Amino acid sequence: MERFLWLRTQGANQHKTMKTWETTKPALTLLLAICCGLANGCSEGVTRRTAATVLSVKGTVIFGTAEQNNFEPVTRESRIYDGDLVRTSDGALINLALIPAALAQMSSNSEIKIEKLRISKDGNQTEGGMRSRSARIELSRGKITVLFSRRDKSASQLAINAPSVTITADSDCLFHVQSDGTRTRLTCVGGNVYASWSARPPVAIGAGYSQQWPSSRTEPIAAADDAAAQIDVADSLEIGNLLHELQSVWQNQHPF
């Protein structure tokens, strides 16, 4: 009799345990799903668009979208996003931080289009966790001098689409690009940049060399042998020093 009562009690306890498990199972499943989601959110990169920062501006410079014919003067507070055109008038110039690693000066009578500005971070962290930064612009006409200088271990890349050539940089360098809308000249002053044209793989162009497109030449020439390239080098060194100073001031104010 005692054994019968013990078995009956055990059966009731097991039934109660199973009933409790069936009741709490959905909640535990939901909790597990939330934990997994949080873990994945921290481990997977989140990519979002960002804006170019105006470091300084001189003269009349406007920006906006050509499709809507909506342009306004550039100021130090302007935020320039994907799809925006930037135009400098005669005698004007602008210094931009496209991404922290890529600073550029647009000379007078120049036009660029911001095609893409992106940053990728670990999850939704607001500080640290930076994976990569990238910028892609189109140079329609005029001159642009670029200082590419990585400040941290995250990957950074800049691409410039110009008439007849695409120019890319992913390591420290200083270079100058000039185009009249048909012909484009690239002069590398420091480091290495890469140029791709006519569906060819990218070709490295080192410091002290220049190349023009379209051209019958397939190899870059020494800047010392070309009067225009010599001017590019002299101008770029001066602009590069200015961009270095602006970069230091800006990053002290906006640490990453």
Task: Give tens-digit pLDDT for 21-78.
Answer: 455 555 444 444 444 444 444 445 788 889 999 999 999 999 999 887 889 999 999 9
Two tokens, residue 25: 């199972």
Q: Rounded distance, CA 173 to CA 193, Å?
A: 7
Helix, strand and coil percent figures for the chain, each rounded to 5: 30, 45, 30
Two tokens, residue 158: 């800049």
The residue ranking higher by pLDDT, 219 or 23, is 219
- Segment 108-116 mean pLDDT: 97
Same domain, 32 and 58: no
Same domain, 3 and 120: no
| Number of structural domains in the chain | 2
Q: Rounded distance, CA 112 to CA 71, Å?
A: 14
Same domain, 83 and 179: yes
| Amino acid, single-letter form, for residue 99 | I
Q: What is the pLDDT of residue 254?
A: 62
Secondary structure letter of residue 90 according to DSSP = T
Same domain, 27 and 89: no
- Asked if residues 38 and 122 have their Cβ atoms less than 8 Å apart, the reply is no
Secondary structure letter of residue 83 according to DSSP = T
Q: What is the pLDDT of residue 39?
A: 44
User: How many CB atoms are closer than 10 A to CB 34?
Assistant: 10
Q: Rounded distance, CA 62 to CA 111, Å?
A: 10
Phi/psi region, residue 170 (left: phi>0; alpha: psi -120 to 50; beta: rest), is: alpha
Range of the domain at 68: 45-253
| Amino acid, single-letter form, for residue 48 | R
**Averaged pLDDT score across all residues of the chain:** 84
Torsion angle defined by CA atoms of residues 217, 220, 221 and 222, in that order, rounded to the nearest 10 degrees? 180
- Asked if residues 239 and 146 have their Cβ atoms less than 8 Å apart, the reply is no
Same domain, 37 and 63: no
Secondary structure letter of residue 109 according to DSSP = S
Handedness of CA 212, 218, 220, 222 (dihedral sign): negative
**pLDDT-above-90 percentage for the chain:** 62
Same domain, 39 and 144: no
Q: Rounded distance, CA 242 to CA 229, Å?
A: 20
Same domain, 147 and 185: yes
| Lowest mean per-residue pLDDT among 3-7, 19-23, 98-102, 241-245 | 3-7
The residue ranking higher by pLDDT, 218 or 81, is 81
- Segment 249-255 mean pLDDT: 71
Same domain, 18 and 50: no
Q: CA distances (Å), 63 to each of 59, 142, 147, 230, 250, in order? A: 13, 16, 22, 31, 21
Q: What is the pLDDT of residue 129?
A: 66
pLDDT band, very low/low/confident/very high, at 103 (cuts 50, 70, 90): very high
Same domain, 5 and 60: no
Same domain, 65 and 30: no
Q: What is the pLDDT of residue 44?
A: 58
| Amino acid, single-letter form, for residue 185 | R
Same domain, 126 and 24: no
pLDDT band, very low/low/confident/very high, at 91 (cuts 50, 70, 90): very high
CATH number of the domain that 196 lies in?
2.60.120.1440
Q: What is the 3-state secondary structure (H, E, C) of 118-137?
A: EEEEECCCCCCCEEEEEEEE
Two tokens, residue 177: 């690009």
